[in-house]
Structure 1
Amino acid sequence: MKQFLLSFICIAAICSCVNAQQKARPEDTEVWKPVPAMVTPGKTSADAPSDAVILFNGKDLSQWVSTSDTTKPAGWLVQKGVITVNKKAGDIQTKASFTDYQLHLEWKVPKNITGKGQARGNSGIFLAALPDGGYELQIIDSYHNETYVNGQAGSLYKQHPPLVNPIRPPGEWQVYDVIWTAPRFNADGSVKSAGKVTAFFNGVVVQNNAELKGTTEYIGQPRTVSHGPLPIRLQAHGDPSEPISFRNIWLRNL
């Protein structure tokens, strides 16, 4: 009798599941709203889409200021659609501050670059720039140039080496496409969620949702600094190598 009851219960459960599946409709799992906004893409993957914030238009540095004195204009050279680092003028940073974003940026070291190690076209993008540091994605000539791997091009400086080294030879344009997710902080200043970076270097993934331990430091361990939206900074490193150039810089807020 007990075995009969168990069999009956199993059959009933199967029938119930079958009936439920039969009553389900494709429409039950369709989502219609909200409708994603229309964005017109660029003619190529390097061109800015219609919703982009243009940080360098090839003409001037109107979106940038001097880091040492943010009341002063950025002192780097603009010529023929290209920005060239002026080491004497120091770092430059965006007038605007950002939280999460998609960034496109192209950079180049001269074909006749000299020096070696970290003294070979050294610069960097601070994805979120604090007054005394921030979170740096390294720029340097890593084409047959030996240095510490968490300081080569495509690294999150002193924290995450690039997964691979897809750099082109000196004199050719290098392309970074970056997804930056800013860290969040609790009311007491502790980390609620860490900053994360996904980066493509010349179309190749070199950082895959890499989680930052804190700020990227030249000396010492990462620091936890509570903050909100921050500007993006380009570094004038001051090494003896020939100047680095930038072009085609745009951003999409996420």
Structure 2
Amino acid sequence: MSRASWFGIAATLTLSASSFNVFGEINALTPAEEAQGWQLLFDGNTTKGWHPFQHPDAKSAWEVQDGVLTVNLKASDVQHGDLATDKVFENYELQFEWKSPVEGNSGVFINVQETPEHQIAWQTGPEYQLLGTAHKDNDDPAKRSGDIFGYTSPLAAAKMHSDGQWNHSVIKQNNGKVEFYLNGTLTSSVDFKSNEWKNWLSQSRFKDLPQFSASSKGHIVLQEWTSPIYFRNMKVRVL
């Protein structure tokens, strides 16, 4: 094979790697996914469909960089804070890919109520924890990545991908029953309507928040915290 032919193949492979991953084309739906009812939550180019939590008309610190949704922690003259979907969701399956710095700490909240009396997303919405591989909270069964923050899951911890690689997460909710997955492993499974959950809640750090997990319908919210976080391939389908 000539050197020119080899470089041509290498260039093609590089282009393919930048446009596709193991789940298909980045920030796009396959015909099969469209037939199954999947919709993109992030189009890969804009923050359309999202707004700063509690500030729907403000310019957000969240931005798109090379097909990735992230937050500019140093941005000025913008609204900092969590990013919320414009729509509310009830029975659905959410898939997304994410990566974090090794010491990173962020999360995705579900069933968030955007009301005047609840100015912070975690006051109403349970959190899918997102941590870097070296974050100390990964050693805490109640705070590890891929789990419901604050809840000690009896299920085994999921294996996170190496630094700089994308992790794949799934959140399923149907009639108040929620399952969290990280890289193909079921990490948390709870029924927010069950007595078991309510008993746990009454003794948890959220016991003085009467609206926490009280609704099985609400906004999906991405957390701006103390470190960068990166999202792509965010898609949802109604169940």
| Length-normalised TM-score, structure 2 | 0.68
Aligned to 1:122: 105
Q: How does 1:50-199 map to 2 (within 5 A)?
A: 50=34, 51-87=37-73, 89-110=80-101, 113=102, 120-131=103-114, 132=118, 133=123, 134-143=125-134, 145=136, 146-161=138-153, 163-182=156-175, 195-199=176-180
Question: Aligned equivalents of 1:155 and 1:62: distance in 2?
Answer: 28
Count how many residue pairs are aligned between Structure 1 and Structure 2: 188
| 1:234 has 2:222 as partner | yes
| 1:205 has 2:186 as partner | yes
Deviation at 1:218, TM superposition (A): 8.8
Deviation at 1:54, TM superposition (A): 1.0
One-letter code aligned to 1:236: E
Say what the alpha-carbon RMSD is for the aligned residues: 2.8
Deviation at 1:219, TM superposition (A): 3.8
Structure showing greater Rg: 1
5+ residue gaps, structure 2, are 1-20
One-letter code aligned to 2:130: I
Question: Aligned equivalents of 1:218 and 1:168: distance in 2?
Answer: 30
**Structure of higher RCO (CA pairs closer than 8 Å, 6+ residues apart):** 2
Aligned to 2:15: none
Distance 1:151 1:216, change over 3 A: farther
> What SS is found at the alignment partner of 2:142?
helix
**Deviations 1:133-181 (Å, cap 9, x if unpaired)?**
2111111124574542211101111114352231112211011012123
One-letter code aligned to 2:184: G
One-letter code aligned to 2:177: K
5+ residue gaps, structure 1, are 1-42, 114-119, 183-194
Question: Aligned equivalents of 1:168 and 1:218: distance in 2?
Answer: 30
Identity, in percent, stands at 27
One-letter code aligned to 1:151: K
Aligned to 1:247: 232
Distance 1:217 1:103, change over 3 A: farther
Distance 1:197 1:180, change over 3 A: same
Does structure 1 conserve the Cα–Cα contact (< 8 Å) formed by 2:111 and 2:216? no
Deviation at 1:220, TM superposition (A): 4.0
